[in-house]
Amino acid sequence: MSLNWLELSDNTDPSNPLPFVLLENESLRFRSPKRITIKLNPINNKNHETISSNNGTMYLTNKRLIFISETNLRIDKNYHNEINNFNNFVLLFNSILSFGLENSWFGPNKWHCLFKINNPDGGLNYLYQWKILLIFNDGGMFDFAKAFESTFNDFKNNSLFVQNEQLPVYSEI
């Protein structure tokens, strides 16, 4: 099952070696090394709900971030561990509010992002803003951050042109 909906591929199509189906006009921009840790936390939620996975791969496309876990995502609610059958997470670029890097002196580097869910049927509580934390255990964070920033800027710049109204057709007076 997926948080925020992802259609998995059956890997029988040689033209699409990815474990998921690309959207229309979507292309892969970056694939992380394995062993990425993901942590999702709602901001200002008194229940301290945490969704996490210690082993997965992050995919960056020109429209969304996709995390596919090797195991089920762990959901911790009020310090009671509850395993659900979520094994992937999708974040559309239009949900992202801010993002940044966290460099550590010791240990792996991290990338974080704040986002707001627009769809109440995606599996996450849409009443809260959420924070995603990616921990790059085997490196690759700087390559991911560079690819993400470039792709996200392209998405934002292109979406401005798409949302503008059409200009009226010029005619001679």
Is a pLDDT exceeding 50 seen at residue 1?
no
**Does residue 108 contact residue 135 with C-beta atoms inside 8 Å?**
yes
Q: Mark 95-114 as b/e (b = at least 16 C-beta within 10 Å).
A: bbeebeeeeeeeebbbbebe
Q: Which of 20, 29, 42 is nearest to 151 (CA)?
A: 29
For residue 172, tell me if it sits in a domain. Answer: no
Is a pLDDT exceeding 60 seen at residue 83?
no
For residue 104, tell me if it sits in a domain. Answer: yes
Angle at the Cα of 8 (from 6 to 10), degrees rounded to 5? 170
**Does residue 75 contact residue 84 with C-beta atoms inside 8 Å?**
yes
Q: How far apart are CA 136 and CA 16, in angstroms?
A: 26
5-14, 46-55, 164-173: least confidently modelled range: 164-173
Domain of 101: which CATH number? 2.30.29.30
The H or E element spanning position 111 is strand 109-116
Question: Between 167 and 50, where is the model more confident?
Answer: 50
For residue 165, tell me if it sits in a domain. Answer: no
Is a pLDDT exceeding 80 seen at residue 76?
no
The tens digit of pLDDT for each residue in 19-30 reads 888 888 899 999
pLDDT of residue 15: 64
Residue 80 belongs to domain spanning: 2-160
Is a pLDDT exceeding 80 seen at residue 77?
no
For residue 114, tell me if it sits in a domain. Answer: yes
pLDDT of residue 80: 45
Number of domains observed in the structure of the chain: 1
pLDDT of residue 81: 47
The tens digit of pLDDT for each residue in 106-155 reads 889 999 999 998 877 777 778 889 999 999 988 889 999 999 999 999 99
**β-sheet bridge partners, residue 53:** 38
For residue 167, tell me if it sits in a domain. Answer: no
Q: Which of 76, 87, 66 is nearest to 1 (CA)?
A: 87
Task: Grade residue 92 by pLDDT with cuts at 50, 70 and 90.
Answer: very high
For residue 171, tell me if it sits in a domain. Answer: no
